């Protein structure tokens, strides 16, 4: 009926199959709150972001010649065409730029977290850099651990890092004023 309204029955077989079919890197089948959530599959340009995240650092790619930040990472600076870049550490502070509350039909691991949020954070020192993430009550709390009523555009947030069972660390966000 709609772009996003397949019967829930239709969600089950093929999706569960694809989730459990041990596709390397795409899913996490280890037990725990995050089991079944999609894991990032870094590409060559994005890998440093995830490496820094694993060390608890939020870093954004920066041109080594003109100093412009860019996201998502890519080989060439759109401002000066330099191919030299480095990863600049961010304060980890930002504000909620927008958010949604996805409802089923969803992949099973997300459907199991009713009321979870997906947010876009604009970074405090670079508001044009906007990262998709999740607002959580604590670094290891589930994606639906914040009452949706507390979500507000403009709310200040700070980054935390969560090591997922599959060995990948992702940034998540806490309200500055919980």
Residues that bind Zn ion (CB under 5 A): 63, 65-66, 77, 79-80, 82
CA distances from residue 19 to 25, 26, 28, 34, 104 in whole angstroms, order as listed: 11, 8, 8, 13, 17
**The entry of Zn ion, other proteins, none that residue 16 binds, CB within 5 to 8 Å by partner kind:** none
Supply 23's token pair: 């596709």
String of contacts with other proteins for each residue 143-172, x by CB under 8 A: x----x----x----------------x--
Residue 142 site contact among Zn ion, other proteins, none (CB < 5 to 8 Å, cut-off depends on kind): none
99 binds other proteins per the rule CB under 8 A: yes
Q: What H or E segment, with its residue span, contains residue 121?
A: strand 118-123
- What is the smallest separation between the CB atom of 89 and other proteins, expressed in angstroms? 18
Q: Which helix (H) or strand (E) holds 132?
A: strand 126-133
Asked whether position 46 contacts other proteins by CB under 8 A, the answer is yes
> What is the DSSP secondary-structure string of 14-38?
HHHHHHHS--TTT---SSSTTTTPP
Q: Are 8 and 104 in contact (CB under 8 A)?
A: yes
Site of interaction with other proteins (CB under 8 A): 1-6, 14-15, 18-19, 23, 25-27, 37-43, 45-46, 50, 71-72, 78, 97-103, 105-107, 110, 113, 116, 118, 120, 128, 130-134, 143, 148, 153, 170
């Amino acid at each position: 009926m709609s772009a996003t309204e397949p019967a829930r029955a239709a969600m089950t077989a093929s999706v569960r199959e694809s989730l459990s079919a041990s596709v390397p890197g795409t899913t996490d089948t280890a037990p725990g709150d995050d089991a079944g959530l999609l894991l990032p599959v870094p590409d060559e340009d994005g890998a440093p972001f995830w490496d820094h995240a694993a060390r608890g650092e939020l870093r954004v790619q920066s041109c080594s010649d003109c100093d412009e930040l860019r996201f998502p990472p890519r080989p060439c600076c759109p401002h000066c065409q330099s191919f030299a870049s480095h990863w600049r550490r961010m304060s980890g502070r930002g504000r909620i730029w927008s958010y949604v509350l996805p409802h089923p039909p969803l992949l099973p691991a997300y459907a199991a977290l009713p009321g979870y949020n997906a947010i876009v954070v604009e970074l405090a020192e670079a508001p044009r850099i906007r990262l998709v993430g999740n607002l959580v009550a604590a670094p290891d709390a589930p994606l639906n651990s914040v009452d949706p009523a507390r979500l507000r555009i403009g709310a200040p947030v700070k980054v935390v890092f969560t090591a997922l069972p599959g060995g990948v660390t992702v940034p998540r966000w806490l309200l500055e004023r919980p």
